[in-house]
Structure 1
Amino acid sequence: MAAGIKVFNADGSLSFDSGQFRLFRLIARVSYGAGDGGSYFTRRSEDTALVPVALNWYPPVFTLDVANSAIYWNFSNVPANYRWPGTVEIWAR
């Protein structure tokens, strides 16, 4: 019985097998306001390769503090009339 996704090269050799690799795992979903701020999230100790993924237009700059399991956001690069609340997901590899 097949499990996961497998991708093969044109010559028939296996290029990718999702049964052997984990792509990403969602570990946190954080809502943020229209101003600068931060939040803590929970993670496993092996989750060290983290990626913030914004789910809306005009996101702020996100900074991850892996040691303290915290995420911070800063709207300094976003014009004031485009600073809206939103959601950011934190993915672990």
Structure 2
Amino acid sequence: MRIKVMKFGGTSVATPEARNRSALRVISAKEQGYRPVVVVSAIGRRGAPYATDTLINLLREIDPNVEPDARELDLMIACGEILSAVIFAHTL
């Protein structure tokens, strides 16, 4: 079985309709004999509630004069992508 890597950006997983369209592409790939490997970005575009920039700004709002350390930024970025992955997996 051939592997097919399928990357979906934030707008592809931002709404139920967009997630359903993306899920249909994954299902179609599977029906064509591929083994899909799905990669999703955090949900939405700049300013959306779970978008990466929004999550990072939550840290920066605490004290605008202090840049969050790299570990905190990495964890916050991962949160958006984990949420997206869980929601997309449930859609499938």
TM-score range, shorter chain: under 0.3
Identify which of structures 1 and 2 has the higher relative contact order when contacts are C-alpha pairs closer than 8 Å and 6+ apart: 1
The two structures have a TM-score, normalised by structure 1, of 0.26
More strand, by proportion? 1
Question: By percentage of residues, which structure has more helix?
Answer: 2
* Larger Rg belongs to: 1
